[in-house]
Structure 1
Amino acid sequence: MGVEEEFLLVTPEGRPEPVATTVLRHASAVEQSSPDEPGGDLEKEFKQEQIETSTPPRADLTELAAEIRAGRARADALARRAGARIAALAAAPQVVESTVLPDRRAYAIRAEFGRTAQDQLTCGCHVHVSIDDPDEGVRILDHLRPWNAVLLALSGNSPSWQGSATGYASYRSQVWGRWPTAGPTAPFGDAAGYRSVVDELLRTGAILDEGMVYFDARLSSRYPTVEVRVADVCLDAEDAALQAALVRGLAEAAMGEPMRQPRTELLRAATWRAARSGLTGDLVSPLTGTPLPAAEVVGQLVEHVRPALAAAGDLEWVERHVATVLRRGNGAIQQLGWRAQGADDDEVVRRAVDRTLAG
């Protein structure tokens, strides 16, 4: 499993700063990818105010958590060379007119998608788990469908947008959902069914290329993995590791009894519920399709993947960290707590910088 994280680039005062090109130039001078495994380098994103890290693939959860922390520290050190810092916020709280990278594909997306592209200064957390073949990958994608909303609720970290409180734990997911392919999908059945859907989407002309297949979870076009893209970037590094452990558990659980497959309309409603209230209200239970307290639904997820977590040696860590998240709250709850203490937009970002690099 591996984790990709997108971060805001901000000034020391806490304002988003369009310096990605400079940061990447510094990175290219000092970073060297391993020829034996992917990940480990800093990568470009869509906007000048953001950057992406990726871990090498790891089987051990403790090692993966260490790679996540190391990637954050490395990205921040390189950002400092451009006079900036990194912040693990899924959306900037301030009013921002973001700028696309000086890149032909980025310019084409901006021209084609207008305001949707202009608004996309959002940061997510993507988890990759390895697969033997595309058919196994599609079996995992179909199994993940009812649980993706719970992963979103655990990660919610964008309660503010363009200078206003939104009332959402994850407003990033609402902004991201404007893309033509974003969100939950119907069951694909097998690799041929998945490929057929992607090919038909490309034929519509509504997306420029396969890289714009923005499903909540998809087959990676770069690696032999399933890529789960539903989560906000997590304020705390260990929360990102938790996402990876749960996704791997769900991938292993997919090899057992099939899950019931709700209609996509119901999954959209469950995803909206998770984005709106996160961990502070009800979530839609994947087992019953009815609302239950968030902590109870998160418990259902842990119970569902318990055998896989135990087999991987992850169970004790996951149970302990789930309890921490439910007690402490996700990033949205932490941000709202800072607001209650009197923090303004810039102070929220400065505190987020500290949390991003904690531990």
Structure 2
Amino acid sequence: MSLPPFKSAGMLTLGVELELMLLEPHTFELSAGALNLLELMRMHADKRFFFCPEITQTMIEYNSGVHGRWHELLDELRAMRSYLLPLVDECGLRISGGGTHAFRNWHEQAFFPKERYLNLGEKYGYLSKQFTVFGMHVHVGVGGDGDRAIELIRSVSPWIPLLIALSVASPFQEGADTGFACSRLHSLTSFPYSGAMPAFADWAECRDYIDGLTGLGIVGGIKDFYWDIRPKPEYGTVEFRIFDTPLTVEIAAGLAGLVQLMCAYYLARPAPPPLYDVYPYNRFQACRYGLAGEMVDPWTGERAGYLDNARALLDRLTPLAREFDAAKVLHVYRDKLEPGLSQADHQRAVAAAGDLPRLMRWQADCFASGVVASDGQTR
């Protein structure tokens, strides 16, 4: 099946997908409650919010509406949270953000009974159950132009590792500190067609590449390409897929606003192709160390810490802040950069004594309250 035409969508519109984990409220293990929770939502029939299943039964996904500004998205996400929390409680669950569950066992996961997910389980075996990790995807509209989408991906791709460093929230897996600030992305890199998208010249080359592999039966469509950033023709967007699910919806909306500003900047000022192939190194540094890592400039070869690069990015985006009502986003990130603490740093501080159930309870409290309590207090 060929890709659909690139849909007409608003320029620089914004939307997110949030993958959320379902927790047992006493042990804070993952809980296979998706079927019951989604059925309860169906009975409530609230058309304002769209939830859907994910690959295993211990997770659900929220798809936002389309917005012009980050604060409109924030209003929706807060309303979604207010709607969701009582339903989760009624199902005897807690819900959490974060990119990984700290002590989940992959072999205990059960696939959601949907044909696509059962087929993925058959195709990828144990990798599919290890895919019980939690991410946020940010969609930005490109005005219905596939060539513009490819140009934008080419311009922003060198800065994807910086976005990873700003959003890391998955230091624990399988009951251990992985040593990485973002371990979630390694659950994706085992799949074929993951990591950086090839450097296509235009939309036609990208479309022919995907259609060719689809025609060979190697992939079923663009959903089987787990690139860090990819075009999404049926939505008319560019999709950023590198974020750990944030601990709060407030952080989620802020990250989406930052992505929107970056896209606005590079749509107006397309970047030349990089001179050096440093993306894998920069991506590894971001996943391993977060903001404490270093980044090699893909045009000059110069090295600088992610903190310095983040400050330079915020300075670059400042002139656009008024146009997109995003001055608060930049202010929040400037404040975060002063101590240089990431979400992963806070998670490690809470789990310093090795109490991983306490960490998961804290993460659920963060999601419910909208506050990342730096002292690790739980309710």
TM over 0.5: yes
Preserved contact between residue 53 and residue 72 of structure 1 (Cα < 8 Å): no
1:84 maps to which residue?
Answer: 93
Query: Which one of the candidate residues 15, 21, 31 is aligned to 1:17?
Result: 31
Closer/same/farther in 2, CA of residues 146 and 2 from structure 1, 3 Å limit:
same
Partner amino acid, structure 1, of 2:80: G
Determine if the alignment matches structure 1 residue 128 to structure 2 residue 142: no
Distance in 2, matches of 1:187 and 1:309, equals 30
Residue in structure 2 matching 1:324, options 335, 342, 348 = 335
Structure 1 Cα separation of the partners of residues 275 and 46 of structure 2: 45
Match of 1:165 in 2: 177
Give, as a single letter, the amino acid of the residue that structure 2 aligns with 1:16.
L
Tell me the equivalent position of 2:9: none
Q: Distance in 2 between matches of 1:85 and 1:264?
A: 46
Question: Structure 1, unaligned stretches of length 5 or more?
Answer: 35-39
1:229 to 241, 258, 269: 241
Alpha-carbon distance in structure 2 between the residues aligned to 1:336 and 1:111: 35
Query: 1:263 Cα deviation (Å)?
Result: 6.9
Q: In 2, Cα distance between the equivalents of 1:151 and 1:202?
A: 30
Maintained 8 Å contact 2:24/2:92 = yes
Q: 2:357 aligns with which of 340, 346, 352?
A: 346
Q: Which residue of 1 aligns with 2:20?
A: 7
Aligned residues of 1:139 and 1:254 also touching (Cα < 8 A): no
Using the alignment, how far apart are the partners of 1:99 and 1:135 within structure 2?
40
The alpha carbon displacement at 1:289 in A equals: 4.1
CA contact (8 A) 2:351 2:358 kept: no
Which moved further from structure 2: 316-325 or 16-25?
316-325
Structure 1 residues 273 and 281: CA distance shift in structure 2, 3 A: closer
Question: What displacement does 1:235 show?
Answer: 1.1
Structure-2 residue corresponding to 1:247 = 259
Name the CA distance, whole Å, in 1 between partners of 2:186 and 2:276: 17
| Structure 1: distance between partners of 2:276 and 2:116 | 31
CA distance, structure 2, for counterparts of residue 333 and residue 205 of structure 1: 43
1:217 is aligned to: 229
Kindly tell me: are residues 221 and 32 of structure 1, through their superposed partners in 2, closer, same or farther at Cα, counting changes over 3 Å? farther
Give the aligned partner of residue 98 of structure 1: 109
Alpha-carbon distance between aligned partners in 2 of 1:73 and 1:274, rounded to the nearest angstrom: 33
Cα distance in 1, alignment partners of residues 224 and 274 from structure 2: 25
Give the 3 Å change call, closer, same or farther, for CA 287–87 of structure 1 in structure 2: farther
Output the CA distance in 2 between the equivalents of 1:74 and 1:346.
Answer: 25
Deviation at 1:325, TM superposition (A): 2.9
Same amino acid, percent of matched pairs: 26
Letter in 1 for 2:82: A
Q: Could you say which residue in structure 1 is the equivalent of 2:78? A: 69
**Cα RMSD between the aligned structures?**
2.0
- Distance 1:328-1:146 versus aligned 2 partners, 3 A rule: closer
Q: Distance in 2 between matches of 1:161 and 1:105?
A: 26
Aligned equivalent of 1:37: none
Cross-structure match for 1:195 = 207
Distance change >3 Å, CA 208–CA 331, structure 1 → 2: same
* Superposition deviation, residue 47 in structure 1: 1.1
Alpha-carbon displacement from aligned partner over 1:45-67 (angstroms, at most 9, x marks no partner): 11101111122111132221122
Q: For residues 185-227 of structure 1, give each alpha carbon's deviation from its aligned partner in whole angstroms, at most 9, with x where no partner exists.
A: 2322221122122223324544333222221111224412211
Residue identity matched to 2:256:
A
1:26 aligns with 2:40: yes
Instruction: Confirm whether residue 51 of structure 1 aligns to residue 56 of structure 2.
Output: no
Post-superposition offset of 1:93: 0.7
Q: What is the rounded CA distance, in whole Å, between the counterparts of 1:338 and 1:263 in structure 2?
A: 41
* 1:287, distance to aligned residue in structure 2 (A): 5.8
Structure 1 equivalent of residue 4 of structure 2: none
Cα distance per residue 1:126-160 (max 9 Å; x no partner) = 11111212222222211121111111111111001
Closer, same or farther in 2 for the Cα pair 1:86/1:19, shift >3 Å?
Answer: same
Equivalent position amino acid for 1:178 in 2: S
Give 1:5's aligned amino acid: L
* 1:212/1:358 CA distance change after superposition, 3 Å: same
TM-score by length of 1: 0.91
Following TM superposition, by how much is the alpha carbon of 1:307 offset from its aligned partner in structure 2, in angstroms?
3.0
Question: 1:179 pairs with 172, 175, 191, which one?
Answer: 191
One-letter amino acid matched to 2:166:
L
- Structure 1: distance between partners of 2:104 and 2:344: 18
> What is the identity, as a one-letter code, of the residue corresponding to 2:283?
T
Aligned partner of residue 62 in structure 2, secondary structure: strand
Structure 2: runs of 5+ lacking an equivalent: 1-13, 371-379
Partner Cα separation in structure 2 for residue 66 and residue 89 of structure 1? 20
1:141 equivalent in alignment to 2:153: yes
AA matched with 1:155:
S
The one-letter amino acid paired with 2:157 is R
Task: Give the TM-score of the pair, scaled to structure 2.
Answer: 0.87
